[in-house]
Chain A
Amino acid sequence: GAGVSQSPSNKVTEKGKDVELRCDPISGHTALYWYRQSLGQGLEFLIYFQGNSAPDKSGLPSDRFSAERTGGSVSTLTIQRTQQEDSAVYLCASSPLTLAVNTGELFFGEGSRLTVL
């Protein structure tokens, strides 16, 4: 597609439920990133994919969080047993090169806003 697409754009769930957030990167982009944006907290790095593998998952907050990427394209971020502190905007970004810092440009989606009641 023309840009990074994320779905759902808004998700309201009850505490303890599982949620899945989807990211469809720009076609041909090999690198894919997930960030979490909480109010006043900036962007918190969660995980990075190169192709289908995740060489850096150091930012995942707990084992309730997991992510996968298939076909070098679509990625899904799964949060199990959601907690209220998981409420945030989850942003996905993609980049065309192996190491995004080589070009500096991450192409961001508009995010999935998660609210846990």
Chain B
Amino acid sequence: AQSVTQPDIHITVSEGASLELRCNYSYGATPYLFWYVQSPGQGLQLLLKYFSGDTLVQGIKGFEAEFKRSQSSFNLRKPSVHWSDAAEYFCAVGHSSASKIIFGSGTRLSIRP
């Protein structure tokens, strides 16, 4: 069955510190992978996506993610977080022949001043 797991429900990091949010997926074919962010009171916004090619992808707001097929992971990273990064982050998986994108349960990120 297709699934996306985000093992960390809530993470708190200090402003300026590095960040890594974990995402693992189970998918029967080569996946298309995404990270979305949901800021308080706002809709979800695409941060970045991986379809093929270079396994390290760059996104908006200074985020990047690395696809590791052997680990079925697509972890999101940022070298230095800002207070404005506090939000809920969702990993998602889809496929070109599928009509839906499956989302994980989300990781809530808090920033410590």
Stretch among A10-18, A63-71, A80-88, A108-116 lining the B interface: A108-116
Question: Across the two chains, which residue of chain A brings its CB closest to B106?
Answer: A42
Contact of A42 among B41, B95, B96, B105 (CB under 8 A): B105
Q: Is A1's CB within 8 Å of the partner chain B?
A: no
A2 CB–B CB distance under 8 Å: no
Q: Which residue of B lies closest to A58 (CB)?
A: B100
Is A105 interfacial (CB-CB < 8 Å)?
Answer: yes
**Chain B facing A: main interface SS:** loop
| Binary A-proximity of B70-113 (CB < 8 A = 1, otherwise 0) | 00000000000000000000101011111111111110000000
Residues of B within 8 A of A (CB-CB), count: 28
Report how many residues on chain A are interfacial, defined by Cβ distance under 8 Å: 30
Determine if A110 and B43 form an interchain contact, defined as CB atoms under 8 angstroms apart: yes
Chain B residue at minimum C-beta to C-beta distance from A50:
B99
Beyond A99-B98, A104-B51, A104-B94, list 16 extra A-B contacts (CB 8 Å). A42-B4, A42-B90, A42-B106, A43-B92, A43-B106, A45-B101, A48-B100, A55-B99, A59-B100, A91-B43, A101-B32, A101-B96, A104-B34, A106-B44, A108-B43, A109-B43
Binding site for B on A (CB under 8 A): 3-4, 33, 35, 40-45, 48, 50, 55-56, 58-59, 91, 93, 99-102, 104-111
